[in-house]
Structure 1
């Protein structure tokens, strides 16, 4: 039975931070003001811009505390165990896994654990070849590009599909060897649906022990998806009428109720926002109305859903 440090569980490090990212009242002694936590401050600034994801945000702060104390123990010449920083991200598409992977790369660069901190995104097609020998070569080349940074493989469980004769297993075996050959030179993050990732870990006996950190990414709530939508719209210098917000809110809450497996959370919202903007542009050209207020405003009639189930709203608002 493997023991992984699953960050969704509370740990003693939690007392360092409360919801305001300040020393908790439960902390027996505060962090000295003279200590510089610049990497944490940069990280928090970016985390604060993310909607929801409270548990994940706290996990990343715990990771910072762990890295910081690890370094302090090294400086004090205290005994430290060599740590593996490879991670497993479990959750549905569009729940922020890639965004957090990028932030972790930046944090590791700030903490001087990784020399570059860049993110290389990959999927099955980037690792698995079509003939014998090609898969190992493609996988090694991908790891080489990732040295000094983070290699993020989404839908990693797809490597385990296809049976014994499939080249996906060769990619897994090559990754395990590369993790050993390039210790401390890159961080591997495997991501995918929760249940599929559990099955994936059984593909190679060396996999479970190499991923001591497991992050779980829950789906966004309907309210969080609406907040993400409004944030995206605001960043693009648009705003929605009250009726448009109601129409969008009803639709997003219905999506959550339906809980479709293929529903991609934040990714779906981003695509929906981009479509709203295109629909608004078509309407404005048709109307010949280009005043500032019109250019800023998204109306209910600009919100068009491709889904079979659509939530009606007033067209004029």
Structure 2
């Protein structure tokens, strides 16, 4: 086998017959010939191949082939495994880089942690860096444990969550909620991101956060609320009463200037019930601000609807909104 055939193999241009020839050659070839072909590939890259690299590569190829031979699997060696190993080793002059890289990816994939609060009580999550996160009913949190501990603090949230972030100037804390990313250094803030609602909302209690969505960016100050319209892709920032922002942490249900349509969706999500409004127009333009004790859904809905002169009917396990 010549160097051209080995290069053709690395480029993925071999016929099945040629590929078998290369694999058989790698299995049976003597060390001097393998070493010579490896060095001949030097012409295809910009840098010189040090002797220690080619020798290590030679040893690695033989070790791999011998191990597979013992298992009777030499014919099943995949081209990309050998090709990628040779290419990376020549390019970076180090044999450990490629062998450890797939393991890292596998570890990162296995290290994803997903937490969901399926109950109706508030759940507190203590992160490895000292950050505390409270999840409201039906809220979910996910993050890559390996990356969080080693490189960057990034989490993804759906539902409502309150954050008390431990300061670490070298590693900003990022929260992803749909198209909105919130970046902080050390602060306390609240996020509302329910997948069936129109808005994603971030309320800052203390500290400072940077909000980015699409191409817009805004830095919030304490007492400000950012509302991002998912459909219009627009961001609005306004002042808000942060006194009620944390009340849900004690088990209460809080609505802060929320469209009535979204209020009903949130109640349906929290209690896992069906709420039907056959005349959607009766909800138009109606908003709600209020704090409620966590009561049975029918009792809570009647209190919410009373504010707007609407009524509730229970039928066949569903809650029906009517004028």
If the TM-score is normalised by the length of the shorter chain, which range does it land in? under 0.3
**TM (normalized to structure 2)?**
0.22
Larger Rg: 2
More helix by share: 1
Higher relative contact order (CA 8 A, sep 6+): 1
More strand by share: 2
